[in-house]
Amino acid sequence: MTEAAPISAEYRAGSDPRTLRDALGCFATGVTVVTCLDRSGQPVGLTANSFTSVSLDPPLLLVCVKRSASSASALVRASHFAVNVLQTGQQPASIRFATKDQDRFGATPWSPGEYGPPVLRDSLGVFECAAHAVHEGGDHHILVGEVLRASFDSTLDPLLYFRGRYRRLHFD
């Protein structure tokens, strides 16, 4: 029996951006929905998987938002925002918040968080933040938030994204 040769690729500066995207897709991430209220008090939000902790003292996190996203300007200007970490049952919400021209909040159960931003019901975790800083990073805004409140449900499993597909944890 002949064993298939492993498929590999390499990105170098100037190469096809798709190759870089595929390489970055080898890092499994959780899926979040970042939310805030716009200037008129309406809820806005989008799906993001570029999310990480920055510091415990002070408690800071960051999330990257594509500059061309319809919610980007509201998120950049917001005094507070929430990062909703999605669980396996929230894949439809992830898709809804990643799709343009959808009523994102009409079909997703939510309520105002303690600090105002929309909190998606049944999320694995929620980080309510005060805006701390915004940095420019290529085609993205890097939002840094100071965590004011964090809550989580330890009985739920995370919604994961790996190599361009939603995944679930598998324990042996």
Residue range 13-44, pLDDT digits in tens: 777 777 777 776 666 789 999 999 999 999 99
- Provide the whole-model pTM: 0.89
Residue ranges for the chain with pLDDT beneath 50: none
Tell me, what's the pLDDT at 16? 76
Tell me, what's the pLDDT at 25? 67
In a domain, 13, yes or no: no
What is the residue range of 119's domain? 30-164
In a domain, 85, yes or no: yes
In a domain, 20, yes or no: no
Distances (CA, A) of 30 to 24, 46, 133: 14, 14, 23
In a domain, 11, yes or no: no
